[in-house]
Chain A
């Protein structure tokens, strides 16, 4: 097992290298660079642009170097100094910007992942065992509803409900009075009160998806002979279901962790903008629009890393869960 993990980690190195190359190419692809978009917005607002100053900036930022030189500077900075470059727009190191946002993003992501599991696993099992019952149809109906409603509409609705009926301040993760305040019990409670809206909004579609997956898988497994064997042993019905078929039907749930991680960073962008959440998504969007290349590139690279890590985690979990994978 340890050897397997080690091997996987070694294999990740060339993949990471390839990804960094692609990430860099992507941010170079759009015509122009940060300065052209800056000039464009400056001329638009009627400001004077001094060509000499632009040339100077170009030299400082190294925009005139050939692409491979630029890449080399960027990647050696990351590998040797952990320096992801400098954000032009924010005028701060990229790593600071990302770290600022990472805490909120991770908390929110993990909270919604747990929400998804807590809701969908019991419902999925129930739907599979009582297939075609009325409650199964009801869950299925709400599942499809959850899949079909666009996240931002759900976000707006919940914001309205919470403002109108619960009298809460909405948007962001904290009430205005706590932003920037040191951590305290009051702040924590306030945080939790704010958390539920984004968690539900982000989790709904995932929950619906997972219920469908689990229901389909479990329906297949429930009629396998080993379930009859378990029943013939004299196990009570709930134990028969939970111990044998559910365990096997959980495999796809676990393998989905792989792409849950990167999706949490980029996938919730729209929701995050609507709800004004301090997560990574809006920052990435802003960076891409203004061609803030080091910031955008680092984000893309980070998402790649998260995908790899997610895949590794899900593979390890799968191996732990299913000996058939472990032994091959």
Chain B
């Protein structure tokens, strides 16, 4: 039954071939609609969505932020925040032969409470904030067990330790009494999984479970979820915007846009024979990142003098003598790192979280003072600036030429300043420009980053994540810098917007003769964007080579493990789950 249809209808392809007709879905959603009653209008967040979940199978809900994926998933547990309201459809849960319509149960009733955590488990995106910071990991899991399985405190504790062991947290007897902030991101996500699985649910909903994690941790967590799913025979609803992840783990895929499922089918069909134009576009923007740098690589190089040279830069945290002469614990965040940046070059720095890449960026700007090493900046031919020896005034000049673009487009713009004020701020601070000239400059910058100059009187909240990042870039460009350090500048953005921003950066580079230092944990982005890549691990650069070489034939064991952990957006060529593991 293949029907190609207009936007808003569901295109089902290759459905019957995949599964036996006899299998009963454990959960089926029929025509679910959900509205948000806002002050002035009604927002149809979810419109007429239907899908089914089966034991042992994985359905991936794919879509960009705001497409209604998370709301749909939460509606299955009847967790709908205040102005939201389920307006139509059925959610039929059938775990024990008695189908129950979840949408028909009264609010806050015992049946709903039983179902939450008992039959449906939920894992979220932010492992940092989705666990209470003031309760121990153990107490939060024990609470679920005691709630649904009527265990004594002692039994629940033993069971929790067992669960922590199952999610591969080492030393669970001790970790059970720790607080969330003593866990790393990956560990927290494991604890969250343990909590979701505590009562052996029939359905696991994972809402962007690995978006906040770096590639190797992501691969670990997805592998873990997959293994647990197989051993327990759960149905998995995975929500993500990363098509690489989808290709690695999904059996079936539903593509959502504007609250509707625009296309649904098994993973192979979606990736290799997509019908809907939106699916095609999503796929196109992902595959592009995988393919390697399209931008001009034929610029003359090697004979030029590098614009920035970093030599043996080291940053040690701690290690100073304490009160009573006892030497404190010292951490080498950055360990004798050396590299050159040529004019017009894009240098990528990749690594896991905690590898020191962000610190390195700050050391170059001297936002953080380096402990050792030299940073030489050559703005003009023959001119050399020793950055570490600069006085405060001179450092300000240096900062005018080397700018930073931040990760979080929501946090890095002052919500009380208009776009014009935000972008003009560096111009005002550096002085020497009148109101009129500033306005012209801001208009020009906005045009440069592809925004309407009329937008300058509006406040940041009026803009989407991608547009805000454009504003951040315009701010960085305001003082005509030579080097831009982009610290995870695209990590918070959706796939298609991410590639737009990357293209924008490359476009600006061609016009303005910039060099980029591009710090990221996303290897496909780096491959698309950078000429050369430095791989960082535990504060050291383990490998530095052309982007192509790093991504296809890496030399070092660590680089290999990192590259193989990147999910591949092709279900016929799964890579992540059979990856190299690196022990260090």
Of the listed stretches B127-135, B290-298, B340-348, B524-532, chain A binds: B127-135
Q: Which of A213-234 contact B (CB under 8 A)?
A: 223-226, 228-234
Say whether, besides A323-B134, A324-B181, A234 and B124 are in contact (CB < 8 Å): no
Determine whether the beta carbon of B124 is less than 8 Å from that of A228: yes
Given A234-B116, A248-B132; 19 other pairs, CB 8 A cutoff: A225-B125, A226-B129, A226-B132, A228-B122, A228-B130, A229-B124, A232-B120, A232-B122, A232-B196, A234-B144, A234-B148, A236-B108, A248-B133, A323-B134, A323-B181, A324-B133, A327-B179, A327-B181, A327-B182
Residues of B within 8 A of A236 (CB): 108, 113
Taken together as a complex, chains A and B put the C-alpha atoms of A232 and B79 apart, in Å, by 8
Taken together as a complex, chains A and B put the C-alpha atoms of A223 and B130 apart, in Å, by 11
Place the interface of chain A in its size category: 20 to 34
Determine whether the beta carbon of A233 is less than 8 Å from that of B117: yes
Residues of A within 8 A of B108 (CB): 236-237
- CB B543 to nearest CB in A, in angstroms, measures 36
Residues of A within 8 A of B129 (CB): 224-226
B539 within 8 A of A: no
Residues of A within 8 A of B81 (CB): 223
B101 within 8 A of A: no
Which of A231, A232, A237, A248 is in CB contact (< 8 Å) with B134?
A: A248
The 4 closest A-B pairs by CB, nearest first: A234-B116, A234-B117, A225-B130, A232-B122
- Give chain B's interface secondary structure class: mixed
B147 within 8 A of A: yes
Taken together as a complex, chains A and B put the C-alpha atoms of A224 and B179 apart, in Å, by 17
A187-225 Cβ-contact flags toward B at 8 Å (1 or 0): 000000000000000000000000000000000000111
Taken together as a complex, chains A and B put the C-alpha atoms of A237 and B109 apart, in Å, by 10
Residues of A within 8 A of B195 (CB): 229, 233
Say whether, besides A224-B129, A228-B124, A233-B195, A324 and B143 are in contact (CB < 8 Å): no
Taken together as a complex, chains A and B put the C-alpha atoms of A263 and B13 apart, in Å, by 73
Determine whether the beta carbon of A235 is less than 8 Å from that of B147: yes
A274 within 8 A of B: no
Taken together as a complex, chains A and B put the C-alpha atoms of A237 and B78 apart, in Å, by 13
A101-121 Cβ-contact flags toward B at 8 Å (1 or 0): 000000000000000000000
Determine whether the beta carbon of B134 is less than 8 Å from that of A321: yes
Determine whether the beta carbon of B133 is less than 8 Å from that of A232: no
Q: Which of B87-118 contact A (CB under 8 A)?
A: 108, 113-118
- CB A325 to nearest CB in B, in angstroms, measures 10
Which residues of B pack against A, CB within 8 Å? 74, 77, 79, 81, 108, 113-118, 120-122, 124-126, 129-136, 143-144, 147-148, 179, 181-182, 192, 195-196
Determine whether the beta carbon of A324 is less than 8 Å from that of B148: no
Residues of A within 8 A of B130 (CB): 225-226, 228-229
Determine whether the beta carbon of A244 is less than 8 Å from that of B124: no
A322 within 8 A of B: yes
Determine whether the beta carbon of A231 is less than 8 Å from that of B116: yes
Determine whether the beta carbon of A229 is less than 8 Å from that of B122: yes
A247 within 8 A of B: yes
Taken together as a complex, chains A and B put the C-alpha atoms of A211 and B144 apart, in Å, by 32
Say whether, besides A248-B134, A327-B181, A235 and B126 are in contact (CB < 8 Å): no
- CB A196 to nearest CB in B, in angstroms, measures 36
Chain B residue, CB-CB nearest to A237: B108
Most central of A229, A231, A234 by chain B CB within 10 Å: A234
Q: Which of A305-328 contact B (CB under 8 A)?
A: 321-324, 327
- CB B203 to nearest CB in A, in angstroms, measures 12
Determine whether the beta carbon of A244 is less than 8 Å from that of B148: no
9 A-B residue contacts at CB 8 Å? Answer: A228-B79, A228-B124, A229-B130, A229-B192, A232-B116, A233-B195, A234-B115, A244-B132, A323-B134
Determine whether the beta carbon of A233 is less than 8 Å from that of B147: yes
- CB A238 to nearest CB in B, in angstroms, measures 10
Most central of A230, A247, A327 by chain B CB within 10 Å: A230
Residues of A within 8 A of B115 (CB): 234
Most central of A223, A226, A322 by chain B CB within 10 Å: A226
Determine whether the beta carbon of A234 is less than 8 Å from that of B179: no
- CB B548 to nearest CB in A, in angstroms, measures 40
Taken together as a complex, chains A and B put the C-alpha atoms of A229 and B193 apart, in Å, by 11
Determine whether the beta carbon of B143 is less than 8 Å from that of A233: yes
Residues of B within 8 A of A233 (CB): 116-117, 143-144, 147, 195
Residues of B within 8 A of A231 (CB): 79, 116
Determine whether the beta carbon of B134 is less than 8 Å from that of A234: no
Determine whether the beta carbon of A235 is less than 8 Å from that of B113: yes
Residues of A within 8 A of B74 (CB): 228
Say whether, besides A324-B179, A327-B182, A235 and B131 are in contact (CB < 8 Å): no
Taken together as a complex, chains A and B put the C-alpha atoms of A322 and B181 apart, in Å, by 12
Taken together as a complex, chains A and B put the C-alpha atoms of A38 and B200 apart, in Å, by 84
Chain A residue, CB-CB nearest to B192: A229
Taken together as a complex, chains A and B put the C-alpha atoms of A237 and B107 apart, in Å, by 10
A222-262 Cβ-contact flags toward B at 8 Å (1 or 0): 01111011111111110000001001100000000000000
Residues of B within 8 A of A229 (CB): 122, 124, 130-132, 192, 195
Taken together as a complex, chains A and B put the C-alpha atoms of A229 and B192 apart, in Å, by 9
Chain A residue, CB-CB nearest to B120: A232
Residues of B within 8 A of A234 (CB): 113-118, 144, 147-148
Taken together as a complex, chains A and B put the C-alpha atoms of A233 and B148 apart, in Å, by 9
Determine whether the beta carbon of A323 is less than 8 Å from that of B179: yes
Most central of B121, B147, B192 by chain A CB within 10 Å: B147
Which of B79, B114, B124, B134 is in CB contact (< 8 Å) with A247?
A: B134
Taken together as a complex, chains A and B put the C-alpha atoms of A322 and B180 apart, in Å, by 12
Taken together as a complex, chains A and B put the C-alpha atoms of A225 and B136 apart, in Å, by 16
- CB B36 to nearest CB in A, in angstroms, measures 14
